Amino acid sequence: MLTTHNVADAARHSDGILRPRRFQVFTDRQFDQIDQLKRLDSEQRFAMRVVASVMPFRVNQYVLDELIDWDRVPDDPLFQLTFPQRGMLSESDFDRMADLHRRDADKAEIQALANEIRERLNPHPAGQLDLNTPMEEGRPLEGLQHKYRETVLFFPTQGQTCHAYCSFCFRWAQFVGDKALKIASNEVGMLHRYLRQHRQVTDLLVTGGDPMVMKARHLSSYLTPLLSADLEHVQSVRIGTKSLTFWPHRFVTDEDADEMLGLFERLIAGGKHVAIMAHYNHPRELSTRVAREAIRRLRDVGVEIRSQGPLLRHINDDSRAWSDLWSTQVKLGIIPYYMFVERDTGAQHYFAVPLGRAWDIYRQAMQRVSGLGRTARGPSMSAGPGKVEIQGVAEIRGEKVFVLRFIQARDADWVQRPFFAKYDPEATWLDQLKPAFGEDRFFYEDEYLAMCKGQVRPIQ
């Protein structure tokens, strides 16, 4: 079968030949080697260095050459999406770090300040490291998260990086080189044992980092065993990835591109649903030939592509960007899935859009796409208790309120129950919302608090 998915075929289906491209990556240690940065003045380059000593930075030549519009820098959305920006640190943190750089302070001093700043940026939003990690004989199963009954998240060790980093990434703490902050696992056996023992799990969601940085044979060692009879209950394999944006060559011209597609094809032939959960933020990410070719090849082997991504100031806080994104996706055979609210971590203050405005943007974008584009749910906050969607703003008996619901919840019984918060034009996250109608807490709060104290573990 694979002969239909080789590189020569890619060329036949396009106007010209898509040649293999060497994956060349740049981190903050290689700022000087990025030719395009010479357009910026020295102050801008300095600011970038300062911020990059706190927040992770990684970009590749494809992103530099084909995605960023350098004539529009620094406002260009794809530049904002990948490069550190001064506003990502508070004035005072920026000044302190800038000072260290100006007087050429030693590495240890810069590291110490960087760590202090990171600690204040809520590196582990929604208790990711503890409450969601299942236990086995008193020990945490590292690299697994099981928050919602049907779905297990798995973070393979080999997938701990990405082809480039997003400046707003909520998992930024994993990428700053502090081992203690990482979530990872190298235990193939542990994953399969856990899945065998939990027959209510229908979905395995492989995430990272980006699992698509892995070699096909590594990914195969995790996924091929799912075809055995004792793992039949795992019906869907989802792979969370930004590679369709940052390195579509992964599915087209990379050495093991065909092997990767072959793996997906075998899983599908064995009865699994295979979905790429593609992270997209801007219509330009879908514009290049190689990006479209990658989508076509995945769809050809039967992979479903669903799209998700956060709403971000400086990048896509405009309803046109979203309606273009969703309608282009529908045209290419991608199913819009979630619009997220930027999480309460890292540079959230720089990227955050107030919830009321987020809902306006969502609504206006929805109005401009056909029903096929209206499958995107949101704006949704992935918070401790679950995924909370802003369904709208309403006035009920003279009180302006947010209408909310759980799309996913730590207790399945909370799902789809409408609840109400006082309208607050400034609020950017769930913890800033207060119950409407004079109530003193939201309906789920007592139970959630008990779960956090370890009195109730609804899943395991």
When asked if residue 154 is in the footprint of ligand PLP (CB under 6 A), the reply is no
Q: Which is nearer to ligand PLP, 56 or 385 (CB)?
A: 385
Q: Which of 313, 387, 405, 410 binds ligand PLP (CB under 6 A)?
A: 387
When asked if residue 153 is in the footprint of ligand PLP (CB under 6 A), the reply is yes
Q: Which of 60, 82, 145, 428 binds ligand PLP (CB under 6 A)?
A: 145
Shortest Å, Cβ 453 to ligand PLP: 20
122's tokens? 């809520």
Stretch that binds ligand PLP, among 40-48, 83-91, 145-153, 190-198 (CB under 6 A): 145-153
Q: Which of 14, 44, 61, 151 binds ligand PLP (CB under 6 A)?
A: 151
Stretch that binds ligand PLP, among 39-47, 61-69, 142-150, 247-255 (CB under 6 A): 142-150
Alpha-carbon distances, residue 195 vs 156, 199, 409 (angstroms): 15, 7, 20
Left, alpha or beta for 383 (phi > 0: left; psi -120 to 50: alpha)? beta
The count of residues in the chain is 460
Q: Peptide bond preceding 379: is omega within 30 degrees of 0, i.e. cis?
A: yes
How many residues sit close enough to ligand PLP to count as binding (CB under 6 A)? 10
Contact 453, 439 (CB under 8 A): no
Q: Which is nearer to ligand PLP, 226 or 261 (CB)?
A: 226
Q: How far apart are CA 436 and CA 58, in angstroms?
A: 43
Shortest Å, Cβ 42 to ligand PLP: 42
Q: Which of residues 396-425 bind ligand PLP (CB under 6 A)?
A: 407-408
Q: Which is nearer to ligand PLP, 21 or 377 (CB)?
A: 377
Helices (H), 2-85: 7-12, 42-52, 61-62, 77-82
Task: Look up residue 282 and give its amino acid.
Answer: H
Shortest Å, Cβ 171 to ligand PLP: 12
Question: Angle 290-295-298 (CA atoms, 0-180°, nearest 5)?
Answer: 120
Stretch that binds ligand PLP, among 14-22, 47-55, 140-148, 211-219 (CB under 6 A): 140-148
Q: Which is nearer to ligand PLP, 205 or 260 (CB)?
A: 205
Q: What is the CA radius of gyration of the chain?
A: 22
Shortest Å, Cβ 133 to ligand PLP: 11
Q: Which of 148, 154, 194, 264 binds ligand PLP (CB under 6 A)?
A: 148
Q: Which is nearer to ligand PLP, 83 or 154 (CB)?
A: 154
Q: Which is nearer to ligand PLP, 50 or 234 (CB)?
A: 234
When asked if residue 236 is in the footprint of ligand PLP (CB under 6 A), the reply is no
Stretch that binds ligand PLP, among 146-154, 169-177, 228-236, 350-358 (CB under 6 A): 146-154
Shortest Å, Cβ 277 to ligand PLP: 8
Q: Convert 272-283 to b/e letters by CB count within 10 Å (16 or more is b).
A: bebbbbbbbbbb
Q: How far apart are CA 265 and CA 255, in angstroms?
A: 17
Stretch that binds ligand PLP, among 58-66, 144-152, 253-261, 263-271 (CB under 6 A): 144-152
Shortest Å, Cβ 382 to ligand PLP: 5
Which residues pair with residue 278 across a beta bridge? 241, 307
> Is residue 163 helix, strand or coil?
coil
Longest dimension (CA), the chain: 66
Q: Which of 174, 323, 348, 382 binds ligand PLP (CB under 6 A)?
A: 382
Instruction: Provide the mask over 175-214, with x wherever binding to ligand PLP is found by CB under 6 A and - wherever it is not.
Output: ------------------------------x---------
Could you give the dihedral angle defined by the CA atoms of residues 132, 133, 134 and 140, in that order, rounded to the nearest 10 degrees? -150
Q: Which is nearer to ligand PLP, 53 or 241 (CB)?
A: 241
Residues 6+ apart with CB under 8 A from 48: 28, 31, 37, 40, 83, 84, 85, 86
Nearest to 67 by CA among 55, 82, 56, 52: 82
Q: Which is nearer to ligand PLP, 118 or 147 (CB)?
A: 147
Q: Which is nearer to ligand PLP, 94 or 337 (CB)?
A: 337
Stretch that binds ligand PLP, among 15-23, 75-83, 147-155, 171-179 (CB under 6 A): 147-155
Residues 6+ apart with CB under 8 A from 222: 154, 156, 188, 191, 206
Residues 6+ apart with CB under 8 A from 17: 11
Q: Peptide bond preceding 74: is omega within 30 degrees of 0, i.e. cis?
A: yes
Q: Which of 5, 21, 118, 147 binds ligand PLP (CB under 6 A)?
A: 147
Residues near ligand PLP (CB under 6 A): 145, 147-148, 151, 153, 205, 382, 387, 407-408
